[in-house]
Amino acid sequence: MQNVRFLHASRTYLAAFWRENRKFLLILASILCFKSAVADLNSISGRSMQPTLLDGDKVWVNKLAYDIKLPFTGISVLELAEPTRGDIVIIDSEVAGKRLVKRIIGEPGDTVYMRNNLLVVNDEVVDFEILSESHEGITIVEHLFDETHQALLSSQRGSRSTRSYGPAQVPENHFFVLGDNRDNSADSRLYSFIPRAQIVGRSSSVVFSMDSDHAFRPRSGRFMATLD
C-alpha cells in the first residue's frame, strides 16, 4: 500500500514539475541537441597550433561540416563532405584520451614524410617562405597544394625526433594531421593516423580570446577572427 502511494505521489510531483518547467526543459534540450550535433565552442589550451591559434582562443566548431550525426552519439546518418587538406579539425581522439585541434595534412591514400621539418606529400615538397623570426621561432607561410597557412618552426639547432617522419601512406578513412607549431605538437607523428569517425567538426573562426599571460584580458584583435 505504501509503495502504491509513493508511486502515485511521485507521478503527481513529476506531472506538476513538467507543467511548471516544460518550456525551460524544452529550451534546455534544444540547446544541448544544438551543441551536440550542430555547432559548439571549443577552448584552445596550449600552444600546439601557434601561430594560427593561441592559448585562450575560443573557436567556433561547425559540426555539420562533414556529417549529420545523431545528437549525443558519434553515429553519422548522412555524410555531407569529406575533410580536406588544410582544414582545421576538432578530434575526439581515443588514443590521446582527449580532444585535439589540428590541421589536416594528408588525406586517405596520400604518402607523407618529413625530413628535418621539410614536409613532402605524394613526392611533392611543400613549398614555404619565411615570414618572420622571433624568440618563439621561425614563422613560415606553407603552400599545401591549393591551400596556404602559417606554421611555426623552432629556431633552436639540433635534431628532434618529431622533425622527421615516415614515409607512410594514409589508410582509407583516416587522415594525417599536424599542429602548426611543428616542434611543439602531439599529433599524427605520435598518435598515428586519425580515423574519420573521430573528427567532430571543422573550425574556421575564433569567436573570442582571453590572454592567460595578461590576467585573462580579452584579445580585441582576435574577436571573430577568420582562420587560414
- Is there a catalytic annotation at residue 102? yes
CA pseudo-torsion sign 91, 97, 98, 104: negative
CA pseudo-torsion sign 73, 74, 77, 78: positive
Burial class, 44, CB count within 10 angstroms (exposed 0-12 / middle 13-18 / buried 19+): buried
> In angstroms, what is the C-alpha Rg of the chain?
22
Q: How many CB atoms lie within 10 A of CB 224?
A: 9
Measured CA to CA, the distance from residue 204 to residue 143 in angstroms comes to 18
What would you measure as the largest C-alpha separation in the chain, in angstroms? 82
Nearest to 206 by CA among 217, 184, 221, 187: 221
Q: How many CB atoms lie within 10 A of CB 18?
A: 10
Which amino acid is located at 199 in the chain?
I
Task: Give counts: helices (H), strands (E), the chain.
Answer: 2, 18
Q: Which of 63, 69, 102, 185 is catalytic?
A: 102
- Is there a catalytic annotation at residue 48? yes
Catalytic residue numbers read: 48, 102
